[in-house]
Structure 1
Amino acid sequence: MAKSRLFRSTMVVSSMTMLSRILGLVRDVVLMGVFGAGGLMDAFLVAFKIPNFLRRLFAEGAFSQAFVPVLTEYKEQRTLHEVQLLISRVSGVLSLILLVLTVAVLAFAPLVIQLFAPGFVGDNHKFDTATALLYLTFPYLFFISMTAFFGSILQSYGKFAPPAFAPVLLNVCMIVGAWLVAPLLDKPIMALGYAVAVAGLLQLIIQLPDLYKQNLLTAPKIDFEHEGVRRILTLMLPAIFGVSVTQINLLLNTIFASKMLNGSVSWLYSAERLSELPLGLIGVAIGTVILPSLSASRAKADMAEFGKTLDWAMRLIIVIGLPASVAMFVLSDILMNALFVRGQFSQTDGQMSALALQCMAGGILGFMLIKVFAPAFFAGQDTKTPVKIGIVSVFANMVFSVVFIGIFYLAKLPLHGGLALATTGASFVNAGLLYYFLQKRGIWHFGKHWYKMGTQFIIATLAMMASLYAVLPFYPKDGTALGKITMLIAICILGATVYGVVLLATGFRPRQLRHG
């Protein structure tokens, strides 16, 4: 029954995430079509990336990874009253930290923009626009972090739908802002700032009814001396760096890109959004679902179940992540052409974004592996190992950035491609080191059954890649928008069908994806 619930929970999160990602893709198509990939869009993306980056550190990243294992332990071993006290104290401390951070950033907004986008200095219009947008977007951090806090509680109690649905509201608000509000304003780009602020509040509100039903909606109280709060803060501080290293690497790319050609931030953003589609559908969904399960297995000292859960997660990750990485690489050009090239987003913008996606595509699998390996450490309340690995990964990203930018410069290629390739390299350094320590400590390793499965996955992926290359010449680059999207969908269906048929022909069966 527990295994069935785990699979159903993954499907719930994955389906909600799919809805969010599809709407997110529509959102990005709308934004690029309305505003293009120029300086104003670059300004918004930087102003939005700053609270998003901190959100992933404080909320979806370090905080949830530190909070869920402690909450799960309280749930398994203590009374409901003690759980309520923990939630009350943690919400009070988290709210205070977020409020202080929000006030500090808003007080020094121009300096923050200068720190995160030094390339904007000297372009007064872009710099001032980014600063004005930051005043609107940064309060989003408070709302979305509290949303993630409440979502972590619900996930620990098996309620995955409300937290997974919340991002849908952000996408809807931004689409409405771009289409309906922007034309009414003197500075249309400001509509996106208002949309982000409203979305944050809505995402928080929809969590509350389910918390109330679970009798877990408690008044916040600041208490740094509470035993659970102290443990969470101790775990959280190193985890801030460890679990969010991917975001730190992407942020470094933004800093570098702000000094490159006008539009570089937008090109990288478009590529990131498409690469995050399979990552969100499977990597984030599985990482979200397995953390409470792994934490419960640790609390019960059931390492056999712990290992089975990790092995199951890895099967799902690789069966989807490997072909997704290859498909994104092969189809990068037509993906950008079909989805983004319209309105203010030119053919040149599409080609530049396609280059970035090609360079990021390989990292999709690496990012997915991190989403599974990192929770294995956090479930055991070990945050030191991931943070050490994170430090190595960030330095690797810096080195790769310098090396690849140099190579791209000598090859007379757009430099933002070197940044994207550096992110891919750093993701595999991170994932590889996480796995090294997992198997070294006897926590989990690829068993003998993986030799056969790995071969099956590779054969099926190669067959899919060959089929995609075979039909690429039939894609109508200069056709109508409907014709291009229809052909893109047909190509994707063909690739998925070939992959599935060949995988079955090699002897792989769907039952092998079951838990245990």
Structure 2
Amino acid sequence: MAKGRIVKAAGAISLATSFSRILGYIKDMILAKYFGATGLSDVFFVAFRIPNLLRELFAEGSMSSAVIPVLKESQVKNPEETKQIVKSLFTFIVIVVGIITLLGILFSPLIVKLIAPGFTANEEKFQLTVLLTRIMFPFLLFISLAALTMGTLNTNNIFFIPALAPCFLNIVTIVAVVGFSSFFFNPIISVAVGITLGGFVQWLIQVPSFYKNGFKFGIARYHPALKKIAILVIPTILSMTVNQINIFVSTILASFLPEGSVTYLYYSMRLIQLPIGIFGVAVGMAVLPTLSGHIAEGKRDLLIKDFIFALKFLFFLTIPSTIGLIMLKEPIVNTLFQRGVFDLNATINTASALLFYSFGILGTVGSRTITATFYSMQNTKTPVACATTGMLVNIGVSLVLMKSMKHNGLALAYSIAATVQFLMLSILLKRKIQEIAFSSIIPSFIKSLIASLVSIGIAKLICNLNPNIWLHSEQMLIKFLWLGFAITVAIVGYFVLCYFMKHEELSYILKKIRRN
């Protein structure tokens, strides 16, 4: 059953992504302890926008989205030819992306001026940002190879290892900061070195599984399938790039706001990436090979059925985490980040940004699944148009709101843009496939929303039993246990309420568990 494959694949990706996110938050806690919300941390996070953008474009998006439909189509017609396509792609990446990496290193000063023009007023700050950007630019080549390997494995229904690979990026970065920061004239350089080496390890860890499944890296001549992939990948990269411009716009504008604004936005964005990465990316990646297979086999009715199921399943998972970030924002930020030079003021400002970013989570994850559906039909132009509209909305609303709301206005503008993009994609998909009944999602959505509000409301009451604990930086173990207990109660309560409300997605999962 296709539903079973989607749930199983999404489960594997979510589990592996959860490990990666946990390690990512440990890394962020270490960075917060060492560098806090200071001018030095602002320098790193501006420079980090480059590898972070590349991860969004390649590791979680465009390349796999373009490669999988073509490889899936090739597998149906000629499985052996698929191996030659992969070799040809490898050759293309090494040559073309290698050249882009060198150009990026050369023109890093110009890139930094574009990303954070406010930094040019301080020469030392500007030069350090340029240095970090240059150190991290080779990440592009490694993450591109990792993305090719991931797309190939996903085509063969192997999801866990590729999704687990980003864990090693975080592990290497943590080791670099904790173990080697004292070796550099400026300790922040250790983070940049860790990210570049971590990107290499992220690719390397997938290679054994890649070879085990009969694929090989090697130099190969041009294959006609590359043209087809290029036609798909260019609009896909443009679409993902436009989405990332929303974040870059926030960075550029935040560089003109009071010191610490870039850091508040970074940490709050990191928190909303938890449900986006664990659920949004997971379901989008899991559903793409299945929907691509339906298209290759001409099974339009199954595509519609599995798309609706995927969207309902996605909201079933994402709604409680979204409500959780909104209602428990202060305890979460305090527990994860408030230590060292990251003080109460930084917690308050990060939590407020988290509130406004959270409003855009559902729009962001929903857009990923609808976009994957367009990609399965080898239609990459529509997502670009919708993403461009969202970007323009983000820029316009950001300029209006930043004057009165400061960094919170930038976070809210991002959420408004994400919601607009989701609504546009939904309307255009409905026009293309009129049989899709989006209204069938509403009962499931309402049940998830009610269960989330009740269960997380109880968790908030638990946290409020001792409100003073969330104001200081001490008693970290107690806070972890307290918050962990509250979240556990919320999770159990959510599933119990969904069970009694006979939630369709939960019933399906329980049925699969009983059958297995």
TM range, normalised to the smaller chain? Answer: over 0.9
Residue 67 of structure 1 corresponds to 67
Q: Distance in 2 between matches of 1:95 and 1:55?
A: 17
1:326-475 alignment runs, 5 A limit: 326-408=323-405, 415-442=406-433, 445-446=436-437, 449-475=440-466
Residue 24 of structure 1 corresponds to 24
Alignment equivalent of 2:312, drawn from 299, 309, 315: 315
Q: Look up the SS of the partner of 1:174 in the other structure.
A: helix
Asked if 2 retains the 8 angstrom alpha-carbon contact of 1:325 and 1:363, the reply is no
Q: Look up the SS of the partner of 1:219 in the other structure.
A: coil
Residue 154 of structure 1 corresponds to 153
Residue 499 of structure 1 corresponds to 494
State the 1:444 CA deviation. Answer: 5.9
Q: Which amino acid aligns with 1:147?
A: A
Q: Distance in 1 between matches of 2:396 and 2:439?
A: 35
Residue 511 of structure 1 corresponds to 507
State the 1:67 CA deviation. Answer: 1.4
Q: Which amino acid aligns with 1:61?
A: G
Residues 407, 512 of structure 1: CA spacing in aligned structure 2 closer, same or farther, 3 A cutoff? farther
Aligned residue pairs total 507
Residues 351, 334 of structure 1: CA spacing in aligned structure 2 closer, same or farther, 3 A cutoff? same
Residue 49 of structure 2 corresponds to 49
Residue 247 of structure 2 corresponds to 250
Q: Is 1:480 aligned with 2:475?
A: yes
State the 1:513 CA deviation. Answer: 5.0
Residues 488, 209 of structure 1: CA spacing in aligned structure 2 closer, same or farther, 3 A cutoff? same
Q: Look up the SS of the partner of 2:328 in the other structure.
A: helix
Q: Distance in 2 between matches of 1:195 and 1:239?
A: 29
Q: Distance in 2 between matches of 1:9 and 1:485?
A: 30
Q: Is 1:234 aligned with 2:234?
A: no
Mean Cα deviation higher: 317-326 or 136-145? 317-326
Alignment equivalent of 2:275, drawn from 255, 271, 278: 278
Q: Look up the SS of the partner of 1:382 in the other structure.
A: coil
Q: Look up the SS of the partner of 2:61 in the other structure.
A: helix
Residues 470, 141 of structure 1: CA spacing in aligned structure 2 closer, same or farther, 3 A cutoff? same
Asked if 2 retains the 8 angstrom alpha-carbon contact of 1:52 and 1:141, the reply is no
Asked if 2 retains the 8 angstrom alpha-carbon contact of 1:166 and 1:206, the reply is yes
CA RMSD after TM alignment: 1.9
Residues 507, 54 of structure 1: CA spacing in aligned structure 2 closer, same or farther, 3 A cutoff? closer
TM-score normalised according to structure 1 size? 0.94
State the 1:87 CA deviation. Answer: 1.2
Cα offsets for 1:252-285 (capped at 9, x unmatched): 1111112222221111111011111111111111
Q: Look up the SS of the partner of 1:37 in the other structure.
A: coil
Residues 41, 448 of structure 1: CA spacing in aligned structure 2 closer, same or farther, 3 A cutoff? closer
Asked if 2 retains the 8 angstrom alpha-carbon contact of 1:47 and 1:133, the reply is yes
Q: Distance in 2 between matches of 1:449 and 1:113?
A: 47
Q: Which amino acid aligns with 1:503?
A: C
Asked if 2 retains the 8 angstrom alpha-carbon contact of 1:84 and 1:218, the reply is no
Asked if 1 retains the 8 angstrom alpha-carbon contact of 2:316 and 2:444, the reply is no
Asked if 1 retains the 8 angstrom alpha-carbon contact of 2:3 and 2:309, the reply is no
State the 1:448 CA deviation. Answer: 5.5
Q: Which amino acid aligns with 1:97?
A: V
Residues 2, 438 of structure 1: CA spacing in aligned structure 2 closer, same or farther, 3 A cutoff? closer
Residues 292, 23 of structure 1: CA spacing in aligned structure 2 closer, same or farther, 3 A cutoff? same
1:140-179 alignment runs, 5 A limit: 140-179=139-178
Residue ranges of structure 1 left out of the alignment (5+ in a row) = 409-414
Mean Cα deviation higher: 368-377 or 475-484? 475-484
Asked if 1 retains the 8 angstrom alpha-carbon contact of 2:63 and 2:151, the reply is no
Q: Distance in 2 between matches of 1:26 and 1:444?
A: 45
State the 1:447 CA deviation. Answer: 5.3
State the 1:389 CA deviation. Answer: 0.8
Q: Look up the SS of the partner of 2:165 in the other structure.
A: helix
Residue 200 of structure 1 corresponds to 199
Asked if 2 retains the 8 angstrom alpha-carbon contact of 1:35 and 1:41, the reply is yes
Asked if 2 retains the 8 angstrom alpha-carbon contact of 1:308 and 1:515, the reply is no
Residues 469, 200 of structure 1: CA spacing in aligned structure 2 closer, same or farther, 3 A cutoff? closer
Cα offsets for 1:373-415 (capped at 9, x unmatched): 100001000011111111111001111112222342xxxxxx1
Asked if 1 retains the 8 angstrom alpha-carbon contact of 2:360 and 2:418, the reply is yes
Asked if 1 retains the 8 angstrom alpha-carbon contact of 2:463 and 2:482, the reply is no
Identity of aligned residues (%): 31
Residues 108, 155 of structure 1: CA spacing in aligned structure 2 closer, same or farther, 3 A cutoff? same
State the 1:222 CA deviation. Answer: 5.4
Q: Distance in 2 between matches of 1:59 and 1:179?
A: 26
Asked if 2 retains the 8 angstrom alpha-carbon contact of 1:38 and 1:262, the reply is yes
Q: Distance in 2 between matches of 1:326 and 1:514?
A: 24
Q: Look up the SS of the partner of 1:474 in the other structure.
A: coil
Asked if 1 retains the 8 angstrom alpha-carbon contact of 2:37 and 2:342, the reply is yes
Mean Cα deviation higher: 342-351 or 434-443? 434-443
Residue 411 of structure 1 corresponds to none
Cα offsets for 1:303-333 (capped at 9, x unmatched): 1221222122112211121122111111111
State the 1:469 CA deviation. Answer: 4.2
Residue 6 of structure 1 corresponds to 6
Q: Distance in 1 between matches of 2:496 and 2:376?
A: 37
